[in-house]
Copies of this chain bind each other. A is one copy, B any other.
Amino acid sequence: MQTLRVDLGERSYPIYIGADLLARADLLAPHIAGRQVAIVTNETVAPLYLGALETALAGYAVTSIVLPDGEAFKNWETLQAIFDGLLGARHDRRTTVVALGGGVIGDMAGFAAACYQRGVNFIQVPTTLLSQVDSSVGGKTGINHPLGKNMVGAFYQPQAVLIDIASLVTLPARELSAGLAEVIKYGLICDEPFLGWLEENMLALRALDQAVLTTAVERSCVAKARVVGADERESGVRATLNLGHTFGHAIETHQGYGVWLHGEAVAAGTVMALEMSMRMGWITVAERDRGIRLFQAAGLPVVPPKDMTPEHFLEHMAVDKKVLDGQLRLVLLRCLGEAVVTSEYPREILNATLSADYAALVDQLKH
């Protein structure tokens, strides 16, 4: 087992990474304040892992709250079901909320923990690759609004993150690929050598090699923890973690939440960010294509939905959280392995990026 640490002063916390950690009562106990625990999970994860976690927590008064599965349920109604469960079982302010599931569960359970009685303890037990390498670390929680993704939420750090690599064996291949989008992202924004490692190990990752997965998760979490430790509330460097996300969120919003997986939208969105970085003269055509090929090797879409026009993108991006005083800030690559957040770009380069024929571009890669 590896233990990393997110360094945030009083709000610092450990990330445990390894196989078969889910039933480890000794790892959970130090982070539980009172005698009550609420496990928040969903209908897909519950049959697989809820029993083991409940057994590990047998010494506590446990309430398990099982939600419907999917980004489409990341809304107030579902959040309300968590509050109903907590209040129905009379959980007090020393209760501990445990999120067992993917990013949607972690975001919602974390936001519920942030708001319940103005804040209770919270432990992340992410069971998808995406949530293990990204959303479970760093304290971003929240729900979607019909007019925008993650528009309502809180920065709320967990007491601990417990990453059980063994839980990835039950993950559908499509979701594993979606998680790899964020893994590749760390290489692109801050760890160029990691890109080479990923190129070498992509087949092993997709074949669920536990040792290789552990390395990928660990290296991703190290990057995430470092960025979050430097900028908890995203006033600076943390925004670089959103490479591809502004374009990607527009895709998700346009398609309706849950039609594309988050990681899929991020992959196609990052291809657009690579294209724009290339048009800015910051990376070469070959570097752009290297990124595209890596997403393809991970089994991810690299072309935005056919019916999306530049106007669709601009409309959805206008409510993005990275808009400041009307200026749309974008995360771009200054070079491979180094991201910048900037609103200093010629408007025509953004327009050209939104109008580019990605299908044709990707088609050329085959030759």
- Residue numbers in B under 8 Å from A94 (CB-CB): 324-325
CB of A255 closer than 8 Å to a CB of B: no
Instruction: Write the A19-42 contact mask toward B (1 if CB under 8 angstroms, else 0).
Output: 000000000000000111000000
- Residue numbers in B under 8 Å from A92 (CB-CB): 321, 323-326
- Residue numbers in B under 8 Å from A90 (CB-CB): 318-319, 323
Q: How far is the CB of A107 from chain B (nearest CB, A)?
A: 11
Known: A118-B155, A154-B115. Is A83-B145 also a contact (CB below 8 A)?
yes
What residue in chain B is nearest A112 (Cβ atoms)? B152
CB of A248 closer than 8 Å to a CB of B: no
Instruction: Write the A293-332 contact mask toward B (1 if CB under 8 angstroms, else 0).
Output: 0000000000000000000000000110101111000000
Report yes or no: A147 in contact with B88, Cβ–Cβ below 8 A.
yes
Report yes or no: B155 in contact with A140, Cβ–Cβ below 8 A.
no
Report yes or no: A147 in contact with B87, Cβ–Cβ below 8 A.
yes
Q: How far is the CB of A66 from chain B (nearest CB, A)?
A: 19
CB of A148 closer than 8 Å to a CB of B: yes
A119 and B139 alpha carbons, distance in the complex (Å): 13
Report yes or no: A155 in contact with B119, Cβ–Cβ below 8 A.
yes
Give the interface SS of chain A, mostly helix, strand, loop or mixed.
Answer: mixed
Report yes or no: A34 in contact with B325, Cβ–Cβ below 8 A.
yes
Report yes or no: B83 in contact with A119, Cβ–Cβ below 8 A.
no
CB of A55 closer than 8 Å to a CB of B: no
Q: How far is the CB of A234 from chain B (nearest CB, A)?
A: 8
Report yes or no: A87 in contact with B319, Cβ–Cβ below 8 A.
yes
- Residue numbers in B under 8 Å from A321 (CB-CB): 92-93, 117-118
CB of A102 closer than 8 Å to a CB of B: no
A252 and B324 alpha carbons, distance in the complex (Å): 42
A88, A92, A116, most chain B CB atoms within 10 A = A92
3 A-B pairs with the lowest CB-CB distances in the bound complex, closest first: A87-B147, A92-B323, A118-B153
**Other A-B pairs, 19, CB within 8 Å; known A87-B151, A115-B154:** A34-B325, A35-B325, A35-B326, A36-B325, A83-B152, A87-B319, A90-B318, A90-B319, A92-B326, A93-B323, A93-B324, A115-B142, A115-B153, A117-B321, A118-B140, A118-B142, A118-B153, A118-B233, A154-B154
Could you list some 29 contacts between A and B, CB below 8 A? A35-B325, A76-B76, A83-B145, A83-B151, A83-B152, A87-B151, A88-B147, A90-B319, A90-B323, A92-B323, A92-B324, A93-B321, A93-B323, A93-B324, A94-B324, A114-B154, A115-B115, A115-B142, A115-B152, A115-B153, A115-B154, A117-B153, A118-B142, A118-B150, A118-B154, A118-B233, A118-B321, A119-B233, A154-B154
